[in-house]
Amino acid sequence: MKAGSLIAGVALLAGHAAAKQPNILFILTDDMDSHMEAMEHMPLLQKHLINEGTVFSRHYCTVALCCPSRVNIFTGRAAHNTNVTDVWAPYGGYPKVVREGINDDYLPHWLQAAGYNTYYAGKMWNQHSVENYNAPHVGGFNESDFLLDPFTYEYWNATMTRNGAPPVRYEGQYSPDLTADKAYDFLREALRHKDRPWFVAHAPIAPHGNVHFPYDESDETKQSKPGYAERHAHLFKDYKIPRGESFNPAEQGGVSWIANLPRLNDTVIAYNDEFQRSRLRALQSVDESTAALLQLLKDAGELDNTYIFYTTDNGYHISQHRMHPGKECGFETDVHIPMIVRGPGVPRGHVSEAVTSHTDIASTIMELAGRPLENTDGVPMPLSLEAEANARMEHVTIEYWGLAIPEGELGWYGDANMTDDYGSSAHAAINNTYKGLRVIGDTYSLYYAVWCTNETELYNLMEDPFEVRNLLDANGGHAAQANAFRIAGRSLDQVVSRLNALLVVLKTCARETCREPWRALHPQGDVATLEDSLAPHFDAFYAGQPNIYFTKCEIGYIAESEGPMYVNRFGGGIHQGYVPTNAKSAPENGDEVAGYDRKALKYLGPQHRISIWT
């Protein structure tokens, strides 16, 4: 990884784009997939962004869950550093965002300080609700219109707060069209202020499932397929989820709760295909609004001075690995996601193979704004061919804490005996806490993960792109593949010893250690890739590293349960990982969050304020 040349590449780009600070249009969908052909079914996205910009074909989210992923995007910091790891209190959600100081120190504030006007329409945070929308107001935006819980995922009953005013209900209006209308208004407003560059975000809920949270105690959470507009109801009638090798397989791989899942029956498969058709239909509204936003830019003559980012918070699986609709896993379906950038100097019709992640977005945008960030965990994404040629990043840290929640009407993981205090009432899977590592080089493509149960996984995606053969599964009958496995001529055990040490570094990395993790192990700077580290003279060094493990399955970042936090340095001494002090996280006396029952995953309304001490 050569951070210096990346920055030089972008500087060159900025020079090319003229002295004026460019505008940023940011489109953030919710739960969009890359592996069930979502982008392929969006013709206007193809025409205006994919053909006119660069697709980042190896772009990853680092936590496959809305709120932690959005915090990752808007801070440029890994989830283990923000400590926003969930959608609900006490480990995540808007109150936690506020408590961690993020509401006062994140991308929109940084852009304003750089001279930008900032606007946001749609979904921002989870647990940002009709109860707490003004306590405090979301910071950093000149104008905003936010969807509010408990109505966020009701496609036909949105409630929103405009510029912090009391919530307004939009019963009967289609949410992705509604938020698009608000984004058009904001874009027109931004364009009126010719003296200042702007950042405009549209964050529709599509294609997230429809969720009705109970308004009172007699009511229940109801999950269903996403809503779509009548004008799209006729589309995709023949579509089926691609039947890849991981699609409801006859032989199940994986570890922990996934290993024990029963095969889905035909009723569920038919439901799941329709669920994905509904997602594709819901995305048509986003396809149209994205084209309409570009048309407004074109009409205003600003298209050539605007960078357009199109991405999503996390990916999605439906039927792969026998799972019901949902996310929260480390499989490619959940973490490998769409990312398209169009703008001045960005190659047109290009597919970039640079390895990038959501941790890089804030750095990328601030670099374009002419105010490079130094204190993030990411690096600017290479937006020119020159920068791309020098981008040698090979790793993405994937992390997750807590439950896996099945979505849709038939979602149920109870059959697999995975119920406990947290799981039972939500039909969720527990022990879904893990650390993962995606490593991609010229001759290798690996996913390595260690779970809170101490189970481990290694998939060789060069030969097993669907991640169905865990090479570390001693009982899985994969001995032949494991024996034949080689990278740079080295055996599975040697490769795993390197991945183990790299993951210990990355699970506690901050700033430069996240960007150049091999330096924590090899301060001399002679090792920059997995392949470099595999040299036989390092074998004893790696054999002496602490083994990664967990002592307990937690549903948040409890440092004591996450095993070793240091590695040995080559040449002597140790590298101590960074663990945030939890002083900021400690709830204040009397701090309350409105109306969520964490165990039941239920919104219970204002009458049920839960003290976060409980």
**Closest CB 611 distance from ligand NAG, rounded Å:** 13
Written as one letter, the residue type at 463 is E
C-alpha to C-alpha distance for 351 and 355, rounded to whole angstroms:
12
**Closest CB 558 distance from ligand NAG, rounded Å:** 6
**Closest CB 516 distance from ligand NAG, rounded Å:** 23
Nearest position to ligand NAG, beta carbon:
582
Which is closer to ligand NAG, CB of 441 or CB of 546?
546
**Closest CB 187 distance from ligand NAG, rounded Å:** 14
Binding to ligand NAG by residue 170, rule CB under 6 A? no
Residue 66 known to be catalytic: yes
Which is closer to ligand NAG, CB of 153 or CB of 485?
153
x/- track of binding to ligand NAG for residues 553-572 (CB under 6 A): x--xxxx-------------
In DSSP terms, 210 is beta-bridged to 224
**Closest CB 152 distance from ligand NAG, rounded Å:** 12
Cis amide linkage into residue 136, ω under 30° from 0: yes
Binding to ligand NAG by residue 359, rule CB under 6 A? no
Which is closer to ligand NAG, CB of 13 or CB of 594?
594
3-state secondary structure string across 100-154:
CCHHHCCHHHHHHHCCCEEEEEECCCCCCECCCCCCCCCCCCCEEEEECECCCCC
Does residue 192 contact residue 185 with C-beta atoms inside 8 Å? no
Question: Which of 61, 66, 67, 514 is the catalytic position?
Answer: 66
Which is closer to ligand NAG, CB of 441 or CB of 580?
580
x/- track of binding to ligand NAG for residues 434-473 (CB under 6 A): ------------------xxx-------------------
**Closest CB 579 distance from ligand NAG, rounded Å:** 5
Binding to ligand NAG by residue 500, rule CB under 6 A? no
Which is closer to ligand NAG, CB of 403 or CB of 601?
403
Among 483, 576, 582, 611, binds ligand NAG (CB under 6 A): 582
Among 16, 47, 188, 193, binds ligand NAG (CB under 6 A): 193
Q: Give the other-Cβ count within 10 Å of 169's Cβ.
A: 13
Among 215, 526, 543, 611, binds ligand NAG (CB under 6 A): 215
Which is closer to ligand NAG, CB of 347 or CB of 564?
564
Binding to ligand NAG by residue 431, rule CB under 6 A? yes
Size of interface with ligand NAG, in residues (CB under 6 A): 37
DSSP string, 171-206: ETS-HHHHHHHHHHHHHHHHHH-TTS-EEEEEE--T
C-alpha to C-alpha distance for 39 and 33, rounded to whole angstroms:
8
C-alpha to C-alpha distance for 332 and 461, rounded to whole angstroms:
10
3-state secondary structure string across 239-267:
CCCCCCCCECCCCCCCCHHHHCCCCCCHH
Segment 366 to 425, residues that bind ligand NAG, using CB under 6 A: 410, 412, 415-418
Written as one letter, the residue type at 428 is A
Q: How far is CA 86 from the centre of its chain?
A: 12
Q: Is 282 helix (H, G, I), strand (E, B) or coil?
A: helix
Q: Give the other-Cβ count within 10 Å of 163's Cβ.
A: 11
**Closest CB 494 distance from ligand NAG, rounded Å:** 22
Helix ranges (H only) for 369-460 are 385-390
**Closest CB 163 distance from ligand NAG, rounded Å:** 11
Segment 110 to 169, residues that bind ligand NAG, using CB under 6 A: 112, 117, 142, 156-157
- Per DSSP, the chain holds a count of helices (H) and strands (E) of 18, 22
- Dihedral sign (CA 418, 420, 426, 428): negative
In DSSP terms, 429 is beta-bridged to 404
The residue behind tokens 């009409």 is 299
Binding to ligand NAG by residue 579, rule CB under 6 A? yes
Among 16, 47, 231, 552, binds ligand NAG (CB under 6 A): 552
Which is closer to ligand NAG, CB of 227 or CB of 343?
227
Q: How far is CA 243 from the centre of its chain?
A: 24
Active site residues: 66
Residue numbers at the binding site for ligand NAG (CB under 6 A)? 83, 90-91, 112, 117, 142, 156-157, 171, 193, 215, 265, 267-268, 410, 412, 415-418, 430-431, 452-454, 549, 551-553, 556-559, 579-580, 582, 585
